[in-house]
Amino acid sequence: METIASPLETQKLCASWRAAGLKIGLVPTMGYLHAGHESLIVKALAESDRVVVSIFVNPTQFGPKEDLDKYPRDFQRDQSLCRSLGVSLIFAPSPDDMYPAGFATKVAVPSMAATLCGRNRPNHFDGVCLVCSKLFNVVGPRKAYFGLKDAQQYFVLARMVRDLNLDLELVPCPTVREPDGLALSSRNAYLNEAERKAATVLSRALDRAKGAALGGQRDPKALIDLIAATVAEEPLARLEYAQVVATGDLADVSADLSTIDGEILVAAALWLGQTRLIDNFLFTPPEARR
């Protein structure tokens, strides 16, 4: 396994693989890899000739008051995991490698970036679009793997890939969870013991809403209220948002769910002390399927 910091050197190596007819799978990460990332890497390994894992804590997707500096890092552990899994290349650039002096370009999907998590993280998805544009261009993957825990990220990037005619497939992968339901996230490391226990309220709230939807509840407001009521039962948790949106454009769904076309995303974010957690589920009303 190689580890390369230089975008140009990575681009040349990946181009040589493509020229040899090899299919590249890319798993973009911010490092501090957990079993969620591992599931993406395993899937990529099964579908590709070469797997590239990028490890880059991307400054442009953090707000000025967010946790860029304290974001957890353990590069050696990440390297060991990637090596043991059979990854071909870790692309691990520095911020200066990615954004050298004079950098001036923006890539964004503004209409899908201002809702859900974007309401409190106004530049986050612009940063995600920018860094993923660069990663896709450096690596030239046939497929890139994203976890659905970050569902908005996936749908924004899917829009970007389609709109910009990027010649690759985004592969959405199921959220990996702790036995008690908590979605895996590098940020779970921030939680103290009491917060860790309380954190299960998020998946529990979404599970209740999903159960209600499966049971026939078609009023999006009722699903949101159910999430809010469940989170309110946990004194340590503060709900940031719960929303029901269409996955195509992430527009809020206020109509009866049996009248809509296609899939909805039910997503929520909450705070436990200084830690922000997100989770979601996807649902397609059977009677509303196109």
Residues that bind a second copy (CB under 8 A): 7, 11, 15, 19, 21, 102-112, 129, 133-134, 137-138, 140, 159-160, 163-167, 248-249
Which amino acid, 271? W
Rounded CA separation 286/258 (Å): 8
Angle between helices 220-232 and 200-214 (to 10 degrees): 150
Q: Which is nearer to a second copy, 186 or 247 (CB)?
A: 247
Closest CA to 160 of 121, 128, 120, 116: 128
Expressed in angstroms, the distance from the first to the final Cα of the chain is 45
- Angstrom CA distances, 174 to 147, 162, 171, 179, stand at 6, 21, 10, 15
Rounded CA separation 240/237 (Å): 9
Closest CA to 24 of 13, 34, 35: 13
Q: Which is nearer to a second copy, 50 or 134 (CB)?
A: 134
Min dist CB 143 to a second copy, Å, is: 15
Q: Which is nearer to a second copy, 82 or 130 (CB)?
A: 130
Min dist CB 81 to a second copy, Å, is: 26
Q: Which is nearer to a second copy, 63 or 100 (CB)?
A: 100
Which of 37, 43, 121, 134 is an active site residue?
A: 37
- Tell me whether residue 37 is one of the annotated catalytic residues: yes
Which amino acid, 189? A
Which residues are part of the catalytic machinery? 37
